[in-house]
């Protein structure tokens, strides 16, 4: 399969599933393949918690050509709630789309990382990552957990995308070094094609090692050489 081009929306089945590390991995693999990559975070929350912002993590690990956050909020809440609590205006979908389209014209690949899950409200009127993907006619990378609950969460997310006729690519956000029975059986039963699996602790690698290893974790559609059949066979 040829690598994806144009904008790609990265979402997850939930918060904390590894979206940022997967986004960084795609950016690193595509950059290594010679592409000029931009990464956009439309809404960043929790900037007042002292944790490293997602865009800084991506810069540290992948160093793409451009990284941009459109709006940021202090509290670690869903973007609409964070805007309401802070008194800041929520991000308008029209503004986000205009900025994304402009950046897309100047780069070979544009990665748009959402916040929370596919249908988490990102801005004014409750627009979501699914709305962004529909408006841009962009495929979606769905980052999932490896453990308990992932089969249901993944199936629900893929069903929502299928109803909108949005192509989906499933990537495990944190695959354990020593997978347990639940991880191995989930791997066998996951719906959809598996387009990658990022190992646990990948975010602690230095930039050079992360960039060198990222193509191993991603399928050719995401600028890597990951083989889902071989991965599943080894995990049995």
pLDDT in tens, 130-168: 999 999 999 999 999 999 999 999 999 999 999 999 999
Q: Which CATH class is domain 6-235?
A: alpha beta
Q: How far apart are CA 199 and CA 124, in angstroms?
A: 35
**The pLDDT of residue 206:** 97
Q: How far apart are CA 85 and CA 133, in angstroms?
A: 27
Question: What are the distances in angstroms from CA 199 to CA 18, 21, 74, 117, 210?
Answer: 10, 10, 30, 21, 11
**The pLDDT of residue 128:** 95
Q: How far apart are CA 196 and CA 110, in angstroms?
A: 19
**The pLDDT of residue 101:** 87
| Tens-place pLDDT, residues 174-215 | 999 999 999 999 999 998 789 999 999 999 999 999 999 999
**Which positions are annotated as active-site residues?**
41
Sign of CA dihedral 213, 214, 219, 221: negative
Please name the residue ranges forming H helices in 44-177. 54-62, 79-86, 93-105, 129-136, 150-163
Residue 236 predicted with pLDDT over 80? no
Tokens of 112: 């748009």
What is residue 38's three-state secondary structure?
A: strand
Map out the domains of the chain as residue ranges.
6-235
% of the chain residues with pLDDT over 70:
100
**The pLDDT of residue 235:** 82
Residue 95 CB coordination number (10 Å): 14
**The pLDDT of residue 5:** 84
User: Which residues 6+ apart lie within 8 Å of 51 measured at CB?
Assistant: none
% of the chain residues with pLDDT over 90:
81
């Amino acid at each position: 399969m040829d690598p994806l081009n144009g904008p790609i929306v990265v979402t997850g089945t939930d918060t904390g599933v590894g979206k940022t590390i997967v986004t960084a991995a795609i950016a690193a693999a595509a950059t290594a393949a010679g592409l000029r990559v931009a990464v956009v975070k439309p809404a960043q929350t929790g900037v007042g918690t002292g944790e490293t912002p997602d865009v800084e993590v991506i810069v540290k690990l992948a160093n793409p050509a451009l990284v941009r956050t459109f709006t940021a909020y202090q509290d670690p809440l869903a973007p609409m709630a964070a805007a309401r609590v802070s008194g800041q205006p929520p991000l308008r979908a029209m503004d986000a789309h205009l900025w994304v389209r402009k950046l897309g014209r100047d780069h070979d690949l544009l990665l748009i990382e959402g916040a929370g899950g596919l249908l988490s409200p990102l801005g004014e009127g409750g627009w979501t990552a699914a709305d962004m993907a529909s408006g841009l006619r962009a495929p979606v990378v769905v980052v999932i957990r490896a453990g308990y609950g992932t089969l249901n969460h993944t199936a629900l997310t893929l069903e929502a995308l299928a109803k909108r006729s949005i192509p989906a690519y499933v990537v495990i956000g944190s695959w354990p070094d020593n997978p347990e029975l639940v991880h191995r059986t989930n791997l066998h039963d996951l719906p959809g094609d598996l387009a990658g699996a990022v190992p646990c602790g990948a975010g602690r690698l230095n930039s050079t090692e992360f960039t060198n290893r990222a193509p191993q974790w991603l399928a050719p559609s995401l600028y890597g050489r990951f083989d889902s059949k071989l991965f599943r066979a080894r995990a049995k």
